Structure 1
Amino acid sequence: MKELNDIVAAYDRAVLQKKQTALVSVVKVDGSSYRRPGARMLVTEDGEITGAISGGCLEGDALRKAQLAMFEKRNKLEIYDTTDDEDNKLGIQLGCNGIVYILFEPLQIHDPHNPLNLLKRVAHSRKDAVIATIFNEDKRLHQQGTVCLVNENETIALYADADLQADASVVLGSKNSSVKNYGDHTALFQFVPPSIQLVVAGAGNDTQPLTEMAYILGWNIVIVDGRPAHATQQRFPKAGKVCVAKPQEILSAVNVDEESAFVLMTHNYNYDLAVLEQIMRTNCSYIGVLGPKKKLQKMFDELVEKGTTISEDALQKIYGPVGLDIGAETSEEIALSVIAEIKAVFSGRNGTSLRERKVEIHARPIM
């Protein structure tokens, strides 16, 4: 989502500067590639690039192709076969051993079918969404481009196709991106969840590295603490929201959803305990508790003693001690450990070394 937000912001700047732009998207990959379908970048007429479609080796050639698409004012498809020695002769040298399909869409500011209008709606909403992009694998033929957005509340279709919209809804429900061939064209259905919302209970100095790292990742950051002198925007300039609140006020101050992660690190046992009691009943996906395991067990014991039921679902999403086992000691190292664990949980991974992984790093879109 950070890349999408950056692209939207870069497009808005280009519009103000009256620059022509093109959206460049990975729409299909056969074999191995650094980026997967749905990766995008924005290119301006003077060569400014926002986002990425490879590890940096493809962008130079794609920049030239994007500028050509702007000049010709039509969508274009380019296929980079990294299994072919010819690409190495061109100086691309992806070294990924796959075939990458790249779609180029010049953007017209006053065109109501401008793909950026759909991307903006996704970027500005905290809802799961699916973006559908139609292309033809024969690059000589017409390339339709980004045509449909589906979320739980609306369907915006720039291309009238009931089957396409129905398939987009299926992808929305499955939460898995998909590439489907329809005979005379192919469609990428990219599932796009909202950014992770990191809610940190605690405004101490050790919280600051955590928020800095979360900001780099493009997460939405909320700081909550009962101490007015600590919970200030000046101390946490990267946070989207800083609240001075009692534990029982947290759910009124924060809109919690499935993409929310809580980290309890106030160093105030009673405050953390009261917050835990409030949030473990929500639909958040992660709750991390700073401190030793015996502290968390004590919290559970006290909650049970007062008659609070701790469901199995709640237990599964509570992590204490918080973070991955990387030998972290300093505030910065602990922040890295916590951020990595949250990312692993939301990605459905276990945080082990990639060399131990027996299957491909990236799941392939369902065909």
Structure 2
Amino acid sequence: MREIGDELLRWLEAGERFVLASIVGVRGSAPRDVGATAAVHADGTVLGSLSGGCVEGAVHSLALEALADGEPVRTSFDPDPDDPFAVGLTCGGQLDVYLHPVDPDGEPDTEASGTDGTIAALAWALRSAQRGLPVAVARLLDSGRTLSVGTDEHAGGTGDAELDGTVVAEVRAMLGRNTSGIRQLCVSGGHEHPMFVESWNTPPRMLVFGAIDHAAALARMGKFLGYHVTVCDARPVFATRRRFPEADEVVVRWPHEYLAEITTDRRSVVCVLTHDAKFDVPVLREALRGPACYVGALGSRRTHADRVDRLRAAGVTASELERLRAPIGLDLGGRTPEETAVAIAAEIVALHNHGSAHPLTHTSGPIHVA
């Protein structure tokens, strides 16, 4: 939902009627994962998508029916080898889709229940995400009642204080783990409530050290992939906002000093593009001892061999050096800054998804591995 959040928020603020169609379950190979959302306006306008076009037509029709009925619907799209006209994914996977009508005229009586409605809860979540705050959206699949939960606050409710407390606790735990999916909640009396949770954690960090042309191309690629991108260089004449308009931050600092002061985690990626020992060695020593999942450095093989000797002399251990990806990126044969940025991004994506980085035409088995 977050990827269509800006337009969705405009619909909410304008009091528009629409349906949220979200993937709540995937089995086998599918183009998009759990949490992917399309929105279908009452006038037929569509935001986002759930597949490469395989199920969009059917989802559009079902969404308009759900909006007319005013009731949430959960449906599955399963391939049927005996029916050539059955709606399903051509790749053979199965999707569970939740269709959730959002209608200002159909909102429950929020004053009687003492809670904000679905519209207020969704708007609060989308505004929080715009500000870069971690937030999760929980929807009860049987009723569509919605709670949006942040680290310290929440909005919306089910109308049941005990259930609200259970939802907030479970969702906050899922937000901390950055996980999404269906959970079965059980409250007093043995009543079960299936709940779908979308966790929108803060974006992972891409730290680009070295204010060169390759950094500008990589910053654009990093933003495209959803990273919070920082370009850092000690030289103020190069590290300017004008040269890096796509970056979230442009920092004039010695790279190793800046990296030592900020918080990184296992989702962070570090790309060192200076290929200058006085910059590279201190920042790589800092990065290789930190939690970042990816640490790469630009340069020729000769530059890298010299860099490794300098890193060893600076006390970097053999196990730490094994984490270093240099020369940076996959071998795509590219030469331009943009082609190099694609090669770096491809290596990061392959690492994140445990991909082989081999051409798919030369591999076998499922394309998307669970």
Normalization by structure 1: what TM-score?
0.77
Aligned-pair CA distance for 1:176: 6.3
Distance 2:352 2:339 in 1: 20
Number of residue pairs the alignment of both structures matches: 349
SS in 1 for 2:95: strand
Does the 8 Å CA contact 2:36/2:49 hold for their aligned counterparts?
yes
Distance 2:339 2:277 in 1: 23
**Per-residue CA shift, 1:142-166, capped at 9, x if unaligned?**
4546657587x78889452888778
SS in 1 for 2:85: helix
**Per-residue CA shift, 1:180-221, capped at 9, x if unaligned?**
678966555556654332111122222222222222222221
CA 1:179–1:293: 2 relative to 1, 3 Å: farther
> How large is the RMSD of aligned CA atoms in angstroms?
3.7
Aligned-pair CA distance for 1:288: 0.8
Gaps of 5+ in 1: 136-141
Aligned-pair CA distance for 1:35: 2.5
CA 1:310–1:325: 2 relative to 1, 3 Å: same
SS in 2 for 1:88: coil
CA 1:124–1:83: 2 relative to 1, 3 Å: farther
Q: For residue 307 of structure 2, what is the aligned residue in structure 1?
A: 299
Question: Given the alignment, which residue of 97, 105, 127 partners 2:100?
Answer: 105
Distance 1:14 1:87 in 2: 37
Identity %: 27
Opposite residue 341 of structure 2, the aligned amino acid is A
Distance 1:258 1:211 in 2: 20
Distance 1:57 1:37 in 2: 16
Q: For residue 317 of structure 2, what is the aligned residue in structure 1?
A: 310
Does the 8 Å CA contact 2:102/2:118 hold for their aligned counterparts?
no
Question: Given the alignment, which residue of 25, 48, 52 partners 2:49?
Answer: 52
Distance 1:93 1:347 in 2: 25
Does the 8 Å CA contact 1:328/1:334 hold for their aligned counterparts?
yes
Matched, 1:348 2:343: no
Matched, 1:68 2:65: yes
Normalization by structure 2: what TM-score?
0.77
Instruction: State which drifts further: 13-22 or 181-190.
Output: 181-190
Question: Given the alignment, which residue of 323, 329, 341 partners 1:335?
Answer: 341
**Per-residue CA shift, 1:79-133, capped at 9, x if unaligned?**
33332666826xx564233442211112356843446244655675576x77655
Aligned-pair CA distance for 1:244: 1.6
Gaps of 5+ in 2: 108-115, 186-190
Aligned-pair CA distance for 1:287: 1.1
Opposite residue 318 of structure 1, the aligned amino acid is L
Question: Given the alignment, which residue of 190, 197, 203 partners 2:205?
Answer: 197
Instruction: State which drifts further: 325-334 or 31-40.
Output: 31-40
Q: For residue 290 of structure 2, what is the aligned residue in structure 1?
A: 282
CA 1:29–1:248: 2 relative to 1, 3 Å: closer
Does the 8 Å CA contact 2:259/2:283 hold for their aligned counterparts?
no
Does the 8 Å CA contact 1:222/1:239 hold for their aligned counterparts?
yes
Does the 8 Å CA contact 2:29/2:91 hold for their aligned counterparts?
yes
SS in 1 for 2:117: coil
Q: For residue 138 of structure 1, what is the aligned residue in structure 2?
A: none
